[in-house]
Amino acid sequence: AASDPDLVERARVARAALGDRAFILGHHYQRNEVIDFADVTGDSFKLAREAAARPDAEFILFCGVHFMAESADILTSDAQKVILPDLAAGCSMADMAEINQVEDAWDVLVDAGLGERTIPVTYMNSSAAIKAFTGRHGGTVCTSSNAEVALRWAFDQVGGLDGDGKVLFLPDQHLGRNTAVLKLGLSLEECVVFDPRRPGGGLTEQQIADARMILWRGHCSVHGRFSLQNVEDMRAAVPGVSIIAHPECRHEVIAASDFVGSTEHIIRTLEAAPAGSAWAIGTELNLVRRLAQAHPDKSVHYLDSTVCFCSTMNRIDLPHLVWAMESLLAGRVVNQIVVNEDDAHWARVALDQMLALPG
Ligand code: 13P
Ligand code: SF4
């Protein structure tokens, strides 16, 4: 639906009045009405770099979800303020790994004598506390656009891919499994799932000892909806269709897709595709709809037959953005995201490690 023209006008006025004091970042899953006001759009990796590259902006307005705003706070200076226009914009996947659960899981590994040979890697979609845990234990953050490089680096730290070192991958089991199996060549059997709700993660000591990837039992509820049946139905309905999906989808979906990648990668792939080509996209619906609009010369389909928004990304809407901007102009800093100093320090170690990865 078109936005209220009065609100759009208020947004224009407030944006102009803030000028260079503010920088607005928009994740690719944001609503059109918000994307229209973003200075930069991107996937989580690009947005983390963009936040770090704006030292002159007093306010970073982060139109995305909580863990992204936390990372921006960690990567910016103390004088800069990161604002999340709606504090309810969380991420259900990030919420699936709590720091005390992860500390307990680490104790299980240490008790099994595997502490020295295990390195944590956390997906960007995790709390600052989990990133700090990762930094304290010598690991790295990764995103969907650098997971392969990050995992290769991590295995190198514990004796190489041919050795017997292990990665504890937090919190998205699908990204971890998809990358390990389809990019690194590990077997499905070498990937085990640690369930924090069960004693010992629900794994025997032997299972843990034999594993190379210990995957946290987390997933994205949006991407979890795509199924192998969707892929098969799409291929039957649209002959010649290319399927491109986000690596948060289940393994059987990714294994049956033609292309896989981050939101930014999906956008670039569509841009490079020839006119007349047909695409089915397995990711959040705001982005897929924008891609369909941007490429009228291609036939762009949504991989699922139902509506699949990320409800927390959608919490950020124009009313919240206008409220945040007008508040800042009135001298009230609202919805600032501040990570405590200790977590910020160690999370930064893990984020800097990611930013230093090759590629
Ligand atoms: P990207 O890094 O690909 O933008 O993914 C972020 C995310 O939350 C996907 O669900
Ligand atoms: Fe989290 Fe999934 Fe939404 Fe991404 S799409 S922010 S992983 S709930």
Does residue 344 line the site of ligand 2, with CB under 6 A? no
Q: Where are the domains of the chain?
A: 5-91+313-340, 94-219, 223-302
Assigned CATH topology for domain 223-302: Rossmann fold (3.40.50)
Which listed ligand is nearest to 224 at the C-alpha?
2
Residue 64's CB is within 10 A of a number of other CB atoms, namely 28
Report helix angle 99-111 to 128-136, nearest 10.
30
What is the three-class DSSP state of 315?
helix
Q: Which residue has a Cα nearest atom 7 of ligand 2?
A: 220
Q: Ligand 2: which of 71, 142, 220, 287 to mutate, most ligand atoms within 8 Å of CB?
A: 220
In CATH, the number for domain 5-91+313-340 is: 3.40.50.10800
- The residues pairing with 18 across neighbouring beta strands, listed in sequence order, are none
Does residue 310 line the site of ligand 2, with CB under 6 A? yes
Q: Which residue has a Cα nearest atom 4 of ligand 1?
A: 43
User: How far apart (Å, rounded) are the C-alpha atoms in residues 93 and 218?
Assistant: 6
Does residue 312 line the site of ligand 2, with CB under 6 A? yes
188-223 as b/e: b if 16+ CB within 10 A: eebbbbbebeeebbebeeebbeebbbbbbbbbbebb
pLDDT of residue 307: 77
Per-residue pLDDT of the chain (359 residues; tens, 9 = 90+): 568 999 999 999 999 999 999 999 999 999 999 999 999 999 999 999 999 999 999 999 999 999 999 999 999 999 999 999 999 999 999 999 999 999 999 999 999 999 899 999 999 999 999 999 999 999 999 999 999 999 999 999 999 999 999 999 999 999 999 999 999 999 999 999 999 999 999 999 999 999 999 999 999 999 999 999 999 999 999 999 999 999 999 999 999 999 999 999 999 999 999 999 999 999 999 999 999 999 999 999 999 978 789 999 999 999 999 999 999 999 999 999 999 999 999 999 999 999 999 97
- Is CATH 3.40.50.10800 what the domain over 94-219 is classified as, yes or no? yes
Measure 310 CA to ligand 1 centroid, in angstroms.
11
Residue 103's CB is within 10 A of a number of other CB atoms, namely 11
Binding-site residues for [4Fe-4S] cluster, in ranges, read: 91, 220, 310
Measure 262 CA to ligand 1 centroid, in angstroms.
6
Half-sphere exposure of 170 (CA within 13 A, CB side): 32
Please determine whether the domains at 94-219 and 223-302 fall in the same fold group of CATH: yes
Q: Which residue has a Cα nearest atom 5 of ligand 2?
A: 310
Q: pTM (2 decimals)?
A: 0.96
Torsion from C-alpha of 346, 190, 146, 316, nearest 10 degrees: -70
User: How far apart (Å, rounded) are the C-alpha atoms in residues 168 and 188?
Assistant: 15
Q: Which residues approach ligand 1 with their CB closer than 6 A?
A: 28, 43-45, 125, 143-144, 220, 246, 248, 262-263
> How many residues in total does the chain contain?
359
Which listed ligand is nearest to 42 at the C-alpha?
1
Rg (CA), the chain: 21
Element at 40 (helix H, strand E): strand 40-42
Does residue 349 line the site of ligand 2, with CB under 6 A? no
Per-residue model confidence as pLDDT tens digits over 145-158: 999 999 999 999 99
SS3 content of the chain, % helix, strand, coil (to 5): 45, 15, 35
